Structure formats: structure tokens, C-alpha cells
Structure 1
Amino acid sequence: MLVSVAAGLLGLATQAVALSTIAAKGSKFFLSTGEQFYNKGVAYQLTDSDPLADTQQCQLDAALMKTLGANSIRVYHVDPTADHDGCMSAFSDAGIYAWIDLDTFSTYILADEPTWNQTQYSAYQKVMDAFHDYENVAGFFVGNEVLTIGTDSVAAPYVKAAARDMKAYRDNKGYRDIPVGYSAADIAQLRPNLQNYMACGDNSSESLDFFSLNAYEWCGSSSYDVSGYVFLQQNASDYNIPIFFSETGCNTPAPRLFQDQAAIFGDDMSGTWSGAIIYEWIEEANNYGLISYGPSAAATATETGVVGGYTRSGTPTPISPDFDNLSSQWATLSPSGVSMAAYSPSNTPPACPSYTSGLWELSGNVPLPTIGQKFNTQSASATATSGASTAQSTGSGSGTATSAGSSSGSASSASSTASSAAIRPRNLVGSLFTDFTSHWYGKLVAGLLILVVL
């Protein structure tokens, strides 16, 4: 193993090799050469500000990711003023695409007081401007886990408005048709409505290009049915835009076996889902890492390159057995998919979800906010009250299956609490709800509450 890793590190090409670009068509991603694309990715955020500004580090990491079998990375924060040529070239040479979050530390869309204003819009524009020209940019996220409880649904139009405006900006600038989407928390009681809302409506310019899920349901030695993946598939089987796992890889119990990859890339799900991104590349306090850069240090250590007690640069060393377990899974999983020429999309947009108190507090296809339009709690309340009188069900089109086996798991907060990924901390109530429903008794209570509401 060490010999192959060393060879990979030394063998990374120095000449940039252009990759085929990625675009969305119907419910699938395709390379410009016509083959269907499936993500085999890892979350990559070595530093809070930008992991794509250190060419030498990117070369080392890209070489080992190629050995792992990865073809994509997800990056949560970048500095649009930095020089990214070296890193993007290093990943391109290794055959690796990048999914980039457009938001910054100060421009998140917040669930408790949502905004979509000129400051946010301008910041998102700068990131898109900085990365649009790289052929190995696979897509952009306009948000990560903005909604974590049912009452957060009032923020959903702001997320959708951000996608609408960034798609329009992309098109007006004449940029390549890079997909724009959203990364959602896996909350069983929220997911079906949110998933359908992001794709609903007759105006495709106002819906997402893709939807993705941070899901940590399959833990240890489980199965397609027991884990709840069967319900994720059921809720997505008729989805009209691409869907994939933007984070996955439950780490309790250890070691991680990554058995869910066989379901995602196998016959059960590969016809619907476009792969998965594993959380995460670097080892830190949450114990999700696939590699380390050296021994841990004191949490208060201030040496160069050490943050939160973990070294964040240098030669990456695989963590055993997790790295090999994932590599072994991916090595045997190569779905053939369908060719772009032979694919004729037939799925239609789902119906926009109806109002259901505490679960989805929007009524149908509500008008999206314009840039600078402020959230009005009284207006939202009035809309909710009006919607309640006409609500017929919590269903919204392509299926709303939920089950005690479909958990929202406390592990789904992995990226929210990671020191390097620095994702916005969750709403406290949402965190408590998510932690509670990660246990069997919490799922039982949640299920009973839903039955009472219905």
C-alpha cells in the first residue's frame, strides 16, 4: 500500500489535461463526451478560508485521492481573490472535479431570519467569477443545511431565489452551463417536502439544477432496507433533477465499512442517484478523516499549520482501515448508466408541497423574494394561516415515504461542527430535534406526532 501511495504521489502529471465538462440533463449528470457521471467524492476543507490556494498541497492530496478512486471533491469555502490555477490544475490532472459552495462566512442564508440581498449576491458572484472558467468545476452550491426543522421552511424561498439569480447571472455572463444546487440536511420529517419544493414549479429558471443530501443513515454493517435508504430511493424515484449524496459516511460504529456505496452505485439506486461525496478528507476532532498529516497536537497548539490540534498540511497518510475500506468499495463499483444521446428525460416537476403546521409552513408555489426583499414574520404568518385552510396533505408529488428506519441521525451534523469545514452552526432547536430523532425512541415519537397531525 505504501509503495503504491508513494508512486501515486510522484507520478502526478505536471502537464494540465483538460477534462470533459459536466452538465445536467433531466435527472442525470453527463460528461461532454456523452457518458453519465457519478460522483465518487470527498469533502475537502483543510483550512477555513480556502484549501484551493496551495498548489503543492493540492498536488499531494490529488495524487492520493486518485489512488483512493475519487473523481470529485466538495469545497465549502474559498477566497475568490486567491490564485486557484495550480490547485485546479492539480485536481484536473488527477481526473477530479470540484463542487464549490458559493457562500462565505458572512453571506449564509440563515433560517431564523432569511435574507437574499445585494451583499450576498455580490459575494456569490465573485466566487462564480473566480471558478467558472475551470473545466473541472462540476457545480455550485447556494447553501448547506439552511433548513433543519419544519418551521425553517419559510427560508426555503430565499435559497431558491439565490439559485434562480445565480443561474441567471451565469447565463447573462455567458458562462458554461455549470449546475447550481443545494445541499440539504437529512431530516426525515422535512426532507420530502423540501426536496420537492426545490424542484417544483413550471418555470425551470426558478428551480434548482440539482438537489443533494447530507445523509448519515447507513451506519456499520447495515442494509438497504434497515438503513432507510429504501425510503430515500422511494422519495427520489420520480425526481426530475439530479440528486446525490453531498455528504455521507457514518462513523459509528467504527471502523467505517462504507457498505452503502454498493447500494448507491448498484442496481438499487444508480438509476436515480448520481453518486456520493464522503465526509471527509482530513482527520480532526470529529473522527471522520480518511487521512492525516501527522500526529495530533494539543488543542491549544499554535504551530504553523496546526489548527484545533490537527496538522493541516504535508504528506497525507491514509488512516487504516477506513481509507482502504472505501477504496475497496469504489474499485468494484462502476455503474454504466446511460448515454446522453440515448436519454430522453420523462420525469416532470413534482407538485409544490402544501402547508402543514410545524412540518412545512409554505403553501404551494409561493412567489420567490427579489434581491433585497426582507423577510416579514407577519406576512409569513398570514401566508401560513391562509395555506392551512387549503392544505390537503403533507404529500408533494413524487412520494413522501418516511419510516422509523429513515433517521435524521446526529451524525448528520458532522460538517456543521467540524472545525475545518466551518459550516454554519445549526439552529439549537434543530440540533436538539435532530439528536433526539437519531435514536429509535425519538423516531417512534416523531412518527406518532406525524400521525396525530395527519
Structure 2
Amino acid sequence: VNTIRIYNLSPDINHDECASIFNIAGIYMMIDVNSPKPNESLSRDKPWESYNHDYLERTFKIVEAFKNYPNTLLFFSANEVINDVPTAITVPYIRAVTRDLKKYIKNHVDRPIPVGYSAADVREVLVDTFNYMQCTLTGDATDDSITDIFALNSYSWCGKATFDEAGYNKLVDMFKDSSVPVFMSEYGCREIRPRVFDETAALYSSKMNPYFSGGVVYEYTQEKNDFGLVVLNSDGSAKLKTDYDNFSNQLAGLNITELQSTSNSGDPTPFPKCSSSLIKDKGYPKDFAKIPSPPDDGLAELIKDGVASPKNGKLVTISNLKVKQVVKNSDDSVLTGLEVKRLTDGNVPTQTSVGSVTAPTATGTGTTETPAETSDSAAVGMKQLGGFGFVMSSLLTALYLI
């Protein structure tokens, strides 16, 4: 695993140690700027009320908290806000938040960090949402309201389904001409237990790899919704589930050399010009002129000058990388000698045994711990590939972290 998605973060607490450990291990972070708390996300019912100064100021504080970590891969402007035609009234506001975040990043971050949208796999609105989010109002890539990345939360592949039965063939048809990177920001249907994750092999196969940039298994920790790969106990111990074993084995079975050799063919697909003809459902918004401006004059000033007294994160030295907590395999045997490995390059699966599980593991011999030396950190791939290239062959899982 080389990337995690992190939901429901607070900009008011310090994340330095956690981000630094991820960086040492070669793990990128995809950051959701919203949370389920009041006025910390767009309202599906009345987005014009939730799109306000206080809401946007908080999203900018999230940017400030994570912008200096070299392993921050991207920010999500919203997650599954649109789940049917009526809630599509929010789509102009999602583009507005995307624009505001991108402008803020340009003004206050010393490197490009892409901003994406994570969509629910609701086929009746998926294509219209995709077309709305990736089209250009200016005729080219200078339009800051274009999403940099389009991500999909999809649970259509369950158990031993086939490529066509899961509708993955239709997803390829939908996104094969995309102008922006597309990947699965959540996957892992739980109708069949334990989950076998056969879709992982399909996602990184020649059928999908030219069009999809990997995927994120939902989720790391076991919660009430029962999607976890790992059970975290109140005493600090952890137990790997059979789902973890199955996912690990799927990653270990991938042909990483083939994935890494995949290259872009031809010129980038140009952004389509925003037009009502892109939208097929008669109830879906078609008036691109209704993408709202910042809600008040103070917001434009905030984007220009930045939030007051930002709490900027930074990498810190982590001296002890040995795992002190008890960690058990799914068969209750105890894993011993666990330690975070310091990496110089990206994290790729190999056929190395961990406990009783054949699992992906890190490669490399070392990484830096100080902000002054981040060129050798997990983010080396991002710096070399211009901001988003590394996501093209990501092997991902998801994590909740407060």
C-alpha cells in the first residue's frame, strides 16, 4: 500500500507525527477537506446556505495544516454530495469550492497539489457529473473550477463477479476519453463475506489500467459499517481480518513491472468546452453560468492573503519505528518484529511473508525525517511527475483519522 485516504480531519490539532510516519513508510495522503460536523461540508438540500465564509475558511485551514507535508498527494473538495438528480443542484457549488481551493493553493502553497471530487457510483447521474466537473469554461486548462482528478466510490463488483457482470466494462466506456486522471476512491463490496477483492486484479489489468489510476479499498479500521481490514482494540492491540489477508494476496499477485512500464499514448485529451449538450438528464443543471462567485468580499481577500495564524504542519524526526502494540494475524498468531521501514522510493508489493500472510511490503533502504531533506522522502515521485503522476499506479487503502 502506498497511499491512504483520510476522512474527517481537524485543522486545529497537530498531525506531524502521523504524517511523518506515513512519509517514512512511503505512504501518500489523500485529504478530504470536509467533515460531517455542522457547516463543515456542502448541504445537499441548500448548498447556497452552506457555501459560506466560515465553511471555506475551514477548508483553507485544512490546506494549511497539510500543505507542507511532502506526502500530501491531493485534496478532495467533496465526497458523494450528488447521489441522485435532485441533489445535482450542488454541482455548481462543488465546482466553486474546487475553484476556491485551487486559487488558495496557488497563492499559499509552494508546489502544485491537485484538487479532486469523489463521486458516488450512481449511474443515472455519473456521466453528467463527470462531464460537468471536467469541462472548461475558458476553453483550456486555465479554468480553476475544473476538477484536477475525478474519483469514484464503486461497490458494483461483489464476490466472484466478472468484469462485465460488475459493470466495469461500462465504466471503461464512460471514462476512456477522460481529460483528467480517474481512479476508484472507494471499493470493496461486502455482500459476500469474507471479501475476496477479485476486482483488484481487474482494476490493474490491461483492460482498465490505461483508463483508471488504481483504487482505494474501503476501509482500514473496522467500524460499525463493517468494512474494516483491521480490528483496532481499546487496549491498543490490532488484529488483521481475513479481508486483510485476501487484499494483501491480491496486491502481491499484481505484475508491478508491467504496471510501472505503462506509459501515456499520444497527446493529452483536451478539456471539452462546457455546453448544455454535455448533460443528458433533463433534470441535471446545464447552466454553467450559475457556478457561484465567492460568497462575500472578505472571502476573496482571504484567498489572496491567507487564513490568520495558520497551523502549518511539518515533518518531524521519528526515532523509534518499532511497533510496540500487539498485532495478531487473522488466525490469532502474534506478529513479531514489526517495524516501519525507511524508504527512499515508492512503496511496491513484493512476495515477502509477513506472519502467516503473503503480503506486499516496502522496498528501499532509507528515507529522510526532516523538512529540509524531503527530496528523498515519499514524495519523490510526485515532485518528478509534476503533481499527479504518481497516482497512475497507486495501490491504495482507506483510513479514518480524526
Q: 1:200-256 deviations in whole A, cap 9, x for unaligned?
A: 122432201101011100001011111001111110000000111111000111111
Alignment equivalent of 2:31, drawn from 81, 90, 100? 100
RMSD: 2.3
Residue identity opposite 2:202 in structure 1: A
Per-residue deviation, 1:343: 6.4
Q: 1:271-306 deviations in whole A, cap 9, x for unaligned?
A: 111111111111122221101123xxxxxxxxxxxx
- Match status 1:274 vs 2:213: yes
Distance in 2, matches of 1:154 and 1:148, equals 11
Q: Which residue of 1 aligns with 2:276?
A: 354
Per-residue deviation, 1:151: 1.8
Per-residue deviation, 1:93: 1.2
SS at match of 2:216: strand
Question: If the length of structure 2 is used for normalisation, what is the TM-score?
Answer: 0.68
Alignment equivalent of 2:295, drawn from 372, 377, 381? 372
- Residues 291, 316 of structure 1: 8 Å contact kept: yes
Distance 1:345 1:119, change over 3 A: farther
- Residues 140, 178 of structure 1: 8 Å contact kept: yes
- Residues 128, 284 of structure 2: 8 Å contact kept: no
Q: After the TM superposition, which segments of 4 or more aligned residues of structure 1 sit over 6 Å from their partners?
A: 355-358
- Match status 1:239 vs 2:239: no
Unaligned ranges ≥5, structure 2: 297-397
Q: What does 1:113-128 align with in structure 2 at a 5 Å threshold?
A: 113-115=46-48, 116-128=51-63
Distance in 2, matches of 1:117 and 1:146, equals 17
Distance in 2, matches of 1:250 and 1:171, equals 38
Distance in 1, matches of 2:85 and 2:24, equals 43
Q: What does 1:248-267 align with in structure 2 at a 5 Å threshold?
A: 248-267=187-206
Distance 1:132 1:174, change over 3 A: closer
Distance 1:337 1:166, change over 3 A: farther
Residue identity opposite 2:188 in structure 1: G
- Residues 34, 40 of structure 2: 8 Å contact kept: yes
Per-residue deviation, 1:175: 3.0
Q: Which residue of 2 aligns with 1:151?
A: 86
Name which structure has the greater RCO, CA cutoff 8 Å, separation 6+. 2
- Match status 1:170 vs 2:170: no
Q: What does 1:372-411 align with in structure 2 at a 5 Å threshold?
A: 372=295
- Match status 1:192 vs 2:127: yes
Give the percent of matched residue pairs that are identical in Structure 1 and Structure 2.
Answer: 34
Question: If the length of structure 1 is used for normalisation, what is the TM-score?
Answer: 0.60
Unaligned ranges ≥5, structure 1: 1-69, 295-310, 374-414, 423-454
Q: Which residue of 2 aligns with 1:82?
A: 13
Distance in 2, matches of 1:359 and 1:325, equals 43
Distance 1:371 1:226, change over 3 A: same
Alignment equivalent of 2:43, drawn from 87, 90, 110? 110
Per-residue deviation, 1:421: 7.9
- Match status 1:316 vs 2:238: yes
Distance in 2, matches of 1:216 and 1:91, equals 27
Per-residue deviation, 1:357: 8.9
